[in-house]
Amino acid sequence: MNVAIVGSGGREHALALSISKSNLLDRLFCLPGNPGTKKIATNIQIGINDFEKILQFCKENKIDLVVIGPEQPLVDGLSDYLRVENINVFGPSSYAAKIESSKSFAKSLMNKSSVPTASYREFNSNEFNSAIDYLNDCKFPVVIKADGLAAGKGVIICEKLDEAINTIKEFSVDKIFGEAGQKYLIEEFMSGEEASIFAITDGEDFIALPAAQDHKRIGENDTGKNTGGMGAYAPTPLISKELEDEVQHKIFRPIIKQLKKEGHPFIGCLYAGLMITKEGPKVVEFNCRFGDPETQVVLPLLEGDVLKLLFSAATGKLDMDAVRYSGGCSVCVVVASEGYPDKFEKGFEITGLDIDDPQIIIYHAGTTEKEGKILTNGGRVLGITSVLKSNNLLEARNKAYEAIKKINFKNIYYRKDIASKALRYL
Ligand code: AMP
Ligand code: GLY
């Protein structure tokens, strides 16, 4: 098979690495890819939003499967655009991708299918007074969320009423999130630990992969601003076999069934961001794609053939035996540019990338190559990942941090406590 992966981050490097091991693979392309994917695939300089060029490339190179990594092209309809031309795509239609791009759509889907989630009300920007009336009756803290995509920044947790009023003013009057915040949700605050689970689905059947835990905040002990994710580990001991079954039955099955019933089956990776509360698992959010950096720890744990799995989902006959998890653990520490998620400098040479250890994977995310040197080129630069055959998370964490010591660039920053929370459960 000839396969094209759309995207250029750490997630796409992880997808490329797993797919590159498949016996079914002939040629692998990354559009546009990064210096990490260049070692295992052919990078093609086509942007993720250039639908016409992507289509033309697929036709000219007889692509058998397109795997779309990031949410934006999914939301903008790249899957639909390619499917009309009879190209197999792993990734949902723009309609099904609304599960991520509209929180109001996701909530209504959950309500229709009785999926456990925080209670909420939604408001439009012209409903300022009714939103204040509602807030007056709320128990605090409350969570205020922009309906649309806001680069992970559209969720504000408000401890007090005046803070909440100020936030809805910023959403609806100051329009800090533009169109994305013109509709917003006021949501019950849920306490608990968070976990991410991916379900690979052909629109009807699904397979849930081992649960991971992300570390969204920039600072240690989950402090400071939200980021795309500063590290992850899998499997998380937070999710027992019983909880996993509960998530499958109460969350994935009803949502996948509901979307099919509405005539828009979800084909791809459905990502459930969960809060494990005292009352059981509840949905914080859905994403319409693989998570980043969760993919970097989940995929290397799978035995079998990831390409076979994705192709079978894309072509409507999910192969339930294509992959399995039978043990092992993985820890990924994201190495970032100091200043991220706000302003940061780039263009610094990265040294120490030549680590030769079968238990370590160095995923590239925000890097670029210039005159034979690898330079920093983004906020999240690398994902230093250990993968062990044993379930010793402590050892996996130590291995990842040992490897990081060998890597250097100006303004390097990373969290020192990735996977620490898990050790409490062991
Ligand atoms: P989201 O973009 O919806 O995933 O929200 C970003 C982060 O905000 C989540 O990972 C949670 O840490 C937090 N969050 C969102 N909704 C809630 C909620 N209802 N209760 C508590 N925390 C939440
Ligand atoms: N790691 C969070 C996300 O991919 O959205």
CATH superfamily, region 328-426: Phosphoribosylglycinamide synthetase, C-terminal domain (3.90.600.10)
Q: How many CB atoms lie within 10 A of CB 304?
A: 17
169 by Cβ neighbours in 10 Å (0-12 / 13-18 / 19+) ranks as: middle
- Residue 108: CA atoms inside 13 Å, Cβ hemisphere, count? 9
Q: Which ligand is nearest to the CA of 291?
A: 2
Ligand 2 centre to CA of 209 (Å) is 15
pLDDT digits (tens, 9 = 90+) for 256-292: 999 999 999 999 999 999 999 999 999 999 999 999 9
User: What is the per-residue pLDDT across 48-98, written as a single tens digit (0 to 9) for each?
Assistant: 999 999 999 999 999 999 999 999 999 999 999 999 999 999 999 999 999
Domain boundaries, the chain: 2-91, 119-188, 328-426
Give the H or E element holding residue 382.
strand 380-388
Beta bridge partners of 67: 5, 90
Mean pLDDT score, 247-251:
98
What digits encode the pLDDT tens for the residues 288-342? 999 999 999 999 999 999 999 999 999 999 999 999 999 999 999 999 999 999 9
288 or 177, greater pLDDT: 288
Residue with tokens 């698992």: 281
Question: 71 CB under 6 A from ligand 1?
Answer: no
Q: How far is the CA of 229 from the centre of ligand 2 (A)?
A: 6
| Element holding 283 (H helix, E strand) | strand 280-287
**Does the CB atom of residue 285 touch ligand 1 within 6 A?**
yes
| Beta pairing, strands 27-32 & 42-43 | parallel
Q: What span, in angstroms and rounded, lies between the C-alpha atoms of 318 and 90?
A: 12
Q: Which CATH number fits domain 119-188: 3.40.109.10, 3.30.1490.20, 3.40.50.620, 3.50.30.30?
A: 3.30.1490.20
The topology (CATH level 3) of 2-91 is Rossmann fold (3.40.50)
Which residues are CB-neighbours of 401 under 8 A, at least 6 positions away? 333, 416
pLDDT at 164: 95
- The protein residue whose alpha carbon is closest to atom 5 in ligand 2 is 291
- Give 12 Cα–ligand 2 centroid separation in angstroms: 13
> Looking at the predicted structure, is the pLDDT value of residue 424 above 90?
no
**What beta strand segments (E) does 325-371 contain?**
329-337, 360-364, 367-370
pLDDT of residue 118: 97
- Rounded to the nearest 10°, the torsion over CA 297, 302, 308, 313 is -70
154 lines ligand 2 (CB under 6 A): no
Question: Residue 409 contacts by C-beta under 8 Å, 6 or more apart in sequence?
Answer: 348, 349, 350, 351, 376, 381
SS3 category, 142: strand
Q: Which of 155, 198, 213, 271 to mutate to test the pocket of ligand 2 (most atoms within 8 A of CB)?
A: 271
pLDDT at 311: 98
- The number of the ligand 2 atom at minimal distance from the alpha carbon of 294 is 1
Question: Which atom of ligand 2 approaches the CA of 229 most closely?
Answer: 1
C-beta 180 within 6 A of ligand 1: no
User: What was the pLDDT predicted at 176?
Assistant: 82
Confirm or reject: Cβ of 187 under 6 Å from ligand 2: no
Average pLDDT over residues 157-181: 88
Higher pLDDT, residue 112 or 126: 112
The torsion of the CA quartet 96, 102, 103, 105, rounded to 10 degrees, works out to: -60
Please name the residue whose Cα sits nearest to atom 2 of ligand 1.
152
Kindly give the pairing relationship between strand 380-388 and strand 329-337. antiparallel
Alpha carbon of 216 to ligand 2 centroid (Å): 8
Token pair for 160: 């007090």
Per the prediction, the chain carries an average pLDDT of: 96
Query: For 352-399, how does the pLDDT look when each residue is reduced to its tens digit (9 = 90+)?
Result: 999 999 999 999 999 999 999 999 999 999 999 999 999 999 999 999
Closest ligand to the CA of 286? 1
